[in-house]
Amino acid sequence: MIARTSLDRWILDKHGLDTSNRQAVRAYQLDRIRDLLGFARENSRLYGLLYQGLELPSSLQEFSYYPFTSARDLAERETDFLCVHPSEIARIVTLQTTGTTRLPKRVYFTREDIELTLDFFYHGMQTLCGAGDRALILFPWRTPDSVGALLKTALEKLGLTVFCSEPDHAEEVFSKTPIDVVCGPASWVIQAADLNPSYSVGAVLTSSEVLYGDMRSRLMSRWGALVFDHYGMTETGLGGAVECQAHAGMHIRENDLLFEVIDADGRLLHSGSEGELVVTTLTRKGMPFIRYRTGDRGVITEEVCPCGSSIPRIQWIRRIPVSF
């Protein structure tokens, strides 16, 4: 029997939302969007100008006509996105972009924003691990509030014993103790598996990079592991969507994020159509992103998952380097 994604229970406990009631979920998201638009217009120079004179949307369909924001906007006008005083910012992440100008993107987090990510990690990871397990983290972890550091905190809160390492030093951990779960960027996990094929691992979580079918097969062959993929960006607060035991796509963190799929002309596409992913952060305070064009292509389905969840799933992703 396939276990249902842990995100259903999280959303029900946190917001009282039954995710199988899609009308209620859409109403919740619309309420968050209306609150966000009012807050952002009042506190952000960019949103104050971009949405000046626009009425608050009365439906998600109406919201789909609102102007986009982009990576170029973020690179060129980073502080104009801010909705709080700089003194409230707890962390700034700098991301390099491709292209001739190579303008960096800087994403700002309040402590409250960081706690949202930690909450998602804590509940999302319950799909593949639990108390008493031993986890190896290959994500960068030394910087406070980095993805590896936050994941370590979340897993320890779940009752796991957590080890952190670079891929080429993972053998030092494997040789000392059995490892149940390995988490890291797809290529780093592959590297660790290639260097340590004699060990067995129960589950693997990959993120940060596209996980192709041959990479999944390679990990299963090396370690006998069940492989769970995750999609997220720094702009989404690191967490975004995570695979369940059905391995039929990544369930979206829909209490915190609204994803849309658009065509080349910016028009909203229906469920199951391939296009560019656009994201709105429903609950971020410091630097919210509204109708932000990720540049990533993919497919989102609203069909009920084999695990029984009605939470929409990102079925696949193709990352496109940002260039401007």
CATH of the domain at 129: 3.40.50.12780
Instruction: Report yes or no: 173 and 163 within 8 Å, Cβ to Cβ.
Output: yes
What type of residue is 248? A
In the chain, the number of structural domains is 1
Tokens of 278: 């656009």
- pLDDT values of the chain reduced to their tens digit, one per residue, 324 residues: 899 999 999 999 999 999 999 999 999 999 999 999 999 999 999 999 999 999 999 999 999 999 999 999 999 999 999 999 999 999 999 987 655 456 889 999 999 999 999 999 999 999 999 999 999 999 999 999 999 999 999 999 999 999 999 999 999 999 999 999 999 999 999 999 999 999 999 999 999 888 999 999 999 999 999 999 999 999 999 999 999 999 999 999 999 999 999 999 999 999 999 999 999 999 999 999 999 999 999 999 999 999 999 999 999 988 776 554
Question: Considering the domain boundaries, does residue 108 fall inside one?
Answer: yes
How many whole angstroms separate alpha carbon 188 and alpha carbon 8? 30
Place of tokens 């014993």: 161
Kindly state the DSSP code that residue 219 receives in the 8-state scheme.
H
How many whole angstroms separate alpha carbon 273 and alpha carbon 315? 11
How many whole angstroms separate alpha carbon 47 and alpha carbon 52? 8
Tokens of 41: 């217009």
Classify 151 as helix, strand or coil: helix
Which range marks the domain in which residue 69 is found? 7-318
pLDDT at 160: 98
Could you give the C-alpha distances from 79 to 47, 90, 248, in angstroms and in order? 11, 15, 39
Question: Considering the domain boundaries, does residue 1 fall inside one?
Answer: no
Buried b (16+ CB within 10 A) or exposed e, 186-203: bbbbbbbbeebeebebbb
Place of tokens 């497919």: 299
pLDDT at 96: 73
Question: Considering the domain boundaries, does residue 2 fall inside one?
Answer: no
pLDDT at 100: 43
What type of residue is 24? A
How many whole angstroms separate alpha carbon 115 and alpha carbon 145? 10
Q: How many CB atoms lie within 10 A of CB 262?
A: 18
Question: Considering the domain boundaries, does residue 129 fall inside one?
Answer: yes
Question: Considering the domain boundaries, does residue 199 fall inside one?
Answer: yes
pLDDT at 240: 95
Tokens of 80: 């104009």
Tokens of 291: 């109708």
How many whole angstroms separate alpha carbon 11 and alpha carbon 124? 11
Question: Considering the domain boundaries, does residue 246 fall inside one?
Answer: yes
Alpha helical stretches, state H, the chain: 7-15, 22-43, 45-50, 60-63, 71-76, 78-81, 111-124, 147-158, 170-174, 186-195, 213-223
Question: Considering the domain boundaries, does residue 324 fall inside one?
Answer: no
Question: Considering the domain boundaries, does residue 323 fall inside one?
Answer: no
Task: Please compute, for residue 239, the number of CA atoms within 13 A of its CA located in the half-sphere on the CB side.
Answer: 30
Residue 301 CB-density burial (10 A; 0-12 exposed, 13-18 middle, 19+ buried): middle
Tokens of 44: 């952000």
